[in-house]
Amino acid sequence: MLTALNIQDFVLIDQLALPLESGLTALTGETGAGKSILLDALGLAIGARAERGAVREGAKQATVSATFEPGADHPIWGILESNALIAGEDQVILRRVQGGDGRSRAFVNDLPVSIGLLRQVGESLLEVHGQHDGRGFLSAAAHRDMLDHYGRFEKRTDEVASNWREWRDFERALEKRRSDRDETLREVDYLRHVVDELSKLDPLAEEESNLAVRRTELMAAEKITEDLVATVNLLGEGGLESKLMAAMRRLERAASVFEENQNPLSAALERLDAVMSEVLEARAALDDAVNHLGHNPQDLDDIEERLFAIRGAARKYAVLPEALPVFLEKARCTLSDLEFGEAAFSDLEHRVEKARTTYFACAKTLSAERRKAASSLDHAVAKELAPLKLGRSKFLTSITTDEDRPMSEGIDMIEFMVATNPGSAPGPLKTIASGGELSRFVLAMKAALAVKENRTVIIFDEIDAGVGGAVADAVGERLARLAQDAQVLVVTHSPQVAARADKQWRIEKTQKKTSTRTTVTQLAPEDRIEEIARMLSGAKITDEARAAARQLLGAPESASSSEHQTILSSA
């Protein structure tokens, strides 16, 4: 349960330390006294949206903390453990610090957390229902979520939604593949032509630049060859080589008359021999050059034909000549992918059908579970109607299953139907129930959900709006019974509801020239009589109103006044 609420510098509240007890607690006071401020502060502590105006004027920041003591089997402990927030005690303390600059910080058990995690923890502990919550029941779209929540189908609905997304993703991929199919087929024909043409050409890396160099050489080959042949002739027979050979023979004859170790011509012979070797090597190099650059018109024609074919292909496909091999490889890969895509088309169709089958199997299972839960919910709500003076009304959860309209939420259209008069056909809650009836249907629904929701605290903000007399008394009685299973706080203007509370708090606001002061007071028995008498009669409290208040409270006529406790003073 919620054991304490501490507020500092929030809107008009300077400082508040409010202890709370189990059972049903009523918060009463004049309109505008500040009851909504308390609920706004509590909402801030459990992760509600923060506003800059939440900080009291003149203060730097507002701080709200709420202390809970959940049962040992409450699911909150699993949430805390999974997020490393266990404090080692049986308390859960939520704290929110709101800065005047709009920035906000959140803490769970004094450990900093995100606002999202604070909200998750807070919503598992506390639930607030306002006087306008009935509007949510008017939306058929919300009814499916309420039934799923009642049946605890969260895992099943997540599975259906996941299967739906997978099915739709495959369908979208298949539709795209179909829309692209004709274009793909045209592209396949084009790529086949590209691959066939370039495969025959078989361009090599840097081939174009090498061919261009070779073409230039061959075009100048005739002149170059004439010079090379003349040079060879000068070195060859009748040229330098012959003269060197003749000189060496003469010198060798002359040197033959001398002793070998005293031959004065040895050095000259060695040098002539070295020169002869160099001449022979030069001639061999010239022969190689003549063979390489030898003028052959057919070679030039072949090279030009190849060069122009490569350059033409490059222009045709708008790439550089040296990029043709890479372009060919990419075309081959793309063609392979497209041809494989045709084979994968049937595989994608199979995936779509398999995902569809999986979705419908899961959705049908959920639909069957929903029908069982709907029957249970109808029975649970029916038991709540009589105590709320709706005993002659009927509540029915209508489920229409349409496999032709699959959705991420399943194949069911769900709407709450009611019949408020005997013999009348059930109709949508939004068109049948009046304002006062709607509030009671909401309370009946919440009472039916209370055990399922496992909330530590349930707060009703003027849920009794629009009802009075015996109906308001019935609402108060049901809230009191609900408080036997969960701590319930109710903000009310109904004396019948307030009289059913175990504890009552009065919220008052006084205004002075320079300040506004709010006081929250826990009322003693005699003070409750005065407060309920005020709620019955208005500004002037009469003896008749006091007597009626005593009767509502079941108090003796001589009830004595006892000291009340002021919990909060705010400036």
243: domain range?
A: 184-337
Q: Is residue 385 part of a domain?
A: no
Split at pLDDT 50, 70, 90, the class of 561 is very low
Residue 108 lies in a domain: yes
pLDDT of residue 400 exceeding 90, the answer is yes
Q: Please indicate, yes or no, if residue 445 is contained in any of the structural domains.
A: yes
Which residue has better confidence, 195 or 484?
195
Is pLDDT above 60 for 309?
yes
Last residue of a domain, one of 322, 337, 352: 337
Nearest-CA neighbor of 134 among 452, 430, 385, 453? Answer: 430
In-domain check, residue 438: yes
DSSP state of 211: H
Residue that wins the pLDDT comparison between 450 and 368: 368
Q: Which of 40, 155, 59 is nearest to 99 (CA)?
A: 59
Please write the tens of the pLDDT for every residue from 73-92: 787 888 888 888 876 678 89
Residue 551 above 90 pLDDT? Answer: no
Q: Using 50, 70 and 90 to split pLDDT, how confident is the model at 404?
A: very high
Whether residue 123 is found in the same domain as residue 188: no
Task: Tell me what pLDDT residue 564 has.
Answer: 46
Owner of token pair 């004595």: 560
| Same domain for 188 and 96 | no
Clarify whether residues 450 and 564 are in a common domain. Answer: yes
Q: Are residues 113 and 190 in the same domain?
A: no
- In one-letter notation, the amino acid at residue 231 is T
**Are 194 and 320 within one domain?**
yes
pLDDT value for 453: 56
pLDDT at 221 over 80: no
Query: Of the residues 337, 366, 401, which one is the last residue of a structural domain?
Result: 337
**97 and 194 share one domain:** no
Using the Cα atoms of residue 410, residue 412, residue 415 and residue 419 in order, give the sign of their dihedral.
negative
21 and 97 together in one domain: yes
Percent of the chain with pLDDT over 90: 22
CATH number at residue 66: 3.40.50.300
pLDDT at 504 over 50: yes
CB contact at 8 A, 562 and 523 = no
- Within-domain flag for 518: yes
Q: How far apart are CA 52 and CA 44, in angstroms?
A: 12
Average pLDDT value for residue range 60-78? 86
What's the total number of domains in the chain? 2
In one letter, which amino acid is 457?
V
Mean pLDDT to the nearest integer, 161-179 = 90
**Which of 232-241's residues contact partners 24+ apart within 8 Å by CB, and which partners?**
232/283, 232/286, 232/287, 232/290, 235/279, 235/282, 235/283, 235/286, 236/283, 240/279, 241/276, 241/279, 241/280, 241/283
Long-range contacts of 417-422 (CB under 8 A, 24+ apart): 418/393, 418/394, 419/393, 419/394, 420/390, 420/392, 420/393, 421/392, 421/393, 422/392
Residues 124 and 231 in one domain: no
Name the band, by pLDDT with cuts 50, 70 and 90, for residue 164: very high
Mean pLDDT of 27-53: 80
534 and 425 housed in the same domain: yes
Instruction: Tell me the two tokens of residue 53.
Output: 């105006």
Q: Flag whether 375 is in a domain.
A: no
Query: Mean pLDDT, the chain, as a whole number?
Result: 82
> Could you write out the DSSP letters of every residue in 72-89?
TT-THHHHHHHTT---SS
Q: What is the pLDDT of residue 169?
A: 94
What is the pLDDT averaged over residues 372-384?
90
pLDDT tens sequence across 464-492:
666 677 778 888 888 888 888 778 888 88
418 in Cβ contact with 442 (< 8 Å): no
More confident residue, 503 or 420: 503
Looking at the structure, tell me whether residues 447 and 536 fall in a common domain: yes
Would you say residue 409 lies in a domain? no
**In degrees rounded to 5, what are phi and psi of residue 491?**
-90, 120
Q: Please, which pLDDT band fits residue 293 given cuts at 50, 70 and 90?
A: low
Residues 233 and 318 in one domain: yes
Choose between 569 and 116: higher pLDDT. 116
Q: Is residue 550 part of a domain?
A: yes
Domain co-membership, 79 together with 16: yes
Average pLDDT over residues 399-427: 89
Last residue of a domain, one of 292, 316, 337: 337
